[in-house]
A and B are shown apart, each in its own frame.
Chain A
Amino acid sequence: MPIISIKNLSKVYPSGLRALNNVNLDIESGEIFALLGPNGAGKTTLISIICGIATRSEGSVMVGGHDIDSDYRAARSLIGLVPQELHTDAFETVWATVSFSRGLFGKRKNPAHIEKVLRDLSLWDKKDSQIVTLSGGMKRRVMIAKALSHEPKILFLDEPTAGVDVELRKGMWDVVRELRASGVTIILTTHYIEEAEEMADRVGVIANGELILTEHKAALMQKLGKKQLTLHLQKPLDAIPAQLDAHHLELKADGRDLVYTYDTRGERTGITALMNDLNAAGIRFKDLNTSQSSLEEIFVSLVHREV
């Protein structure tokens, strides 16, 4: 059974703006699911509805088998949310605000757990500091600590690494990996596509309030991924010989590179034929490399196609 099951979910704001349109999505227990989409695509709205911050217009959402409306206590107890904006109680201490979150989610005090969370997020030595005195990156970690304070089974990370430096970002991903290893399901939205590429098991792409696709990351890359073979020539070419027209080659780097684009889905990639034809044409090369289109390129092409 999926841990989150979204059926025919729509959200129409009073202004008439349709922020979500008939979204259907199942999220499996224990996976890292990355939700990608341009600004205003509906990512945050989707998360807000699941977490109880926004109302829905149509459809249903089940979390852990519990309806988010009729059985909201059971549903919400499972969820930890790290919102995109840094909303904090500036004058509270780190310890107090994280303990507050645990209480809010109906869990009795457990200083040992709070200590572990703060240590994991390198916040332990700041536990008695007022939040207002912390840096942006630390505040972000306080938000994560709050979300983890009540030992959630599902963690939502809405743009968790926006405005966070590279080192801290890596630290955060270590925490996320550890959480996943302990069985926590993680749903994240991000603009950093390399992050989704590195972290996620599955990717969902949302644009204009519609979920365009959900796919295992590897399958998506394979399905949509194009590979390019670049041949670095010994002697530059002025033009591509006519006998190579069938391969649709491109000439780059002032005629020194010959680029062949092929589809990994095909049974035959055509590389052997290309090599034979190059040999026949007397074109020699000193080096070659292949590259695969990144998730970012796939994403951009998908969203453009949709728009």
Chain B
Amino acid sequence: MNIHAIKAIYKFEMSRTWRTLLQSIVSPVISTSLYFVVFGAAIGSRITEIEGVSYGTFIVPGLIMLSLLTQSIANASFGIYFPKFVGTIYEILSAPISPLEIVIGYVGAAATKSIILGLIILATAGLFVPLKIAHPFWMIGFLVLTAVTFSLFGFIIGVWADNFEKLQVIPLLIVTPLTFLGGSFYSINMLPPVWQTITLFNPVVYLVSGFRWSFSEIADVPVGVSFGMTLLFLALCLIAVLWIFKTGYRLKK
């Protein structure tokens, strides 16, 4: 194991975060606060409690998930896309590093950033609404698993993308809509029966549901199913990453 290389990549990626602190940390916190103002105060005052929880408290896990997914993807995809774009990827490819070590470095840093961000958003939410975390261990578990999974997914997007537009297209056109439609801001029980069924094809439902369960024990699907689906998506991303390195897809000439 080339520990020094993993550390070097991790440190390099993290230093990029501190260099772009405004963009990396401050802007997501501001947008989350705006969600609270708009959804929590304006809409929340017209929605009564959902399954015994105030609307403001209800949307906290969904809001964290929204940032966690988009930021994990953005961090990891940019982290690997940028060296490809400027050409510094040559050094990564010519170094005595295994694919696994490259992934640990890039995905580890991306996931670390989004976990820190998730916790900051959680703390920010605490300023607006009363918070209760029923299962802290599971809460952290879902947070970490989701961050890692979507950082892997972002890594794949970053490898696949060969221009900046492709880098944005999946997060904007697929992930964000799925997150909004995945029960971040509502319980899927509030939907008509047909849409409840359709919604179950949205993987984000399982992430949000499990995460929300760890806060307030409210869940759209059983927590075991949520956990299983998260692991399944993690496994799919891992397989895709292994394939990328085995074939040199979009990395090697």
Chain A interface residues (CB < 8 Å from chain B): 13, 45, 48, 51-55, 72-77, 79, 81, 83, 85, 87-92, 96, 99-108, 146
Contact = CB atoms under 8 A, between A and B. Distances in A.
Interface in B66-111: 86-88, 90-98
A210 to B, nearest CB: 19
A101 B88 CA distance: 11
A100 B96 contact: no
Given A55-B253, A77-B96, A107-B4, A88 B90 contact: no
A76 B96 contact: yes
Contacts of A13: 253
B95 A89 contact: no
B91 A101 contact: yes
20 contacts: A51-B90, A52-B93, A55-B252, A73-B96, A76-B95, A77-B96, A81-B90, A81-B94, A83-B87, A83-B90, A101-B91, A102-B4, A103-B5, A103-B8, A103-B11, A104-B91, A105-B96, A106-B2, A106-B5, A146-B91
A91 B8 CA distance: 16
B8 A104 contact: yes
B248 interface: yes
Contact of A53 (B96, B97, B253): B253
B46 interface: no
B25 interface: no
A189 B253 CA distance: 20
A107 B87 CA distance: 23
Interface string B108-129: 0000000000000000000000
A91 B90 contact: no
Contacts of B88: 87-89
B2 A73 contact: yes
B40 to A, nearest CB: 38
B2 A85 contact: no
A55 B5 contact: no
A87 B86 contact: yes
Given A104-B5, A104-B9, A53 B93 contact: yes
Contacts of B253: 13, 45, 48, 53-55
Interface of B: 2-5, 7-9, 11-12, 15, 19, 86-88, 90-98, 248, 252-253
A245 B115 CA distance: 89
A53 B91 CA distance: 9
Given A85-B87, A87-B87, A90-B86, A51 B2 contact: no
Nearest to B9: A104
Contact of B95 (A85, A90, A104): A104
A159 B11 CA distance: 31
B37 to A, nearest CB: 34
Given A81-B90, A105-B96, A108-B4, 4 more contacts: A83-B87, A83-B90, A90-B86, A103-B4
A83 B93 CA distance: 12
B94 A53 contact: yes
A92 B86 CA distance: 13
A117 to B, nearest CB: 16
Nearest to A81: B94
A89 B4 CA distance: 19
Contact of B94 (A51, A92, A100, A102): A51
B12 A100 contact: yes
Contacts of B96: 72-77, 105-106
In this complex, which of A53, A72, A108 has the most chain B Cβ atoms within 10 angstroms of its Cβ? A53
A81 B7 CA distance: 21
A13 B248 CA distance: 13
A101 to B, nearest CB: 6
Q: Closest 3 interchain pairs by CB? A: A103-B8, A87-B87, A73-B96
B169 to A, nearest CB: 24
In this complex, which of A54, A76, A101, A105 has the most chain B Cβ atoms within 10 angstroms of its Cβ? A105
Contacts of B248: 55
A129 B97 CA distance: 28
Contacts of B3: 106
Given A48-B253, A53-B253, A54-B253, A106 B4 contact: yes
A204 B137 CA distance: 63
A141 B252 CA distance: 25
A77 to B, nearest CB: 5
A67 to B, nearest CB: 13
B235 to A, nearest CB: 26
A72 B11 CA distance: 24
B67 to A, nearest CB: 25
B89 to A, nearest CB: 8
A175 B82 CA distance: 31
A104 B86 contact: no
B8 A79 contact: no
A54 B94 CA distance: 9
Contacts of B8: 99-100, 102-104
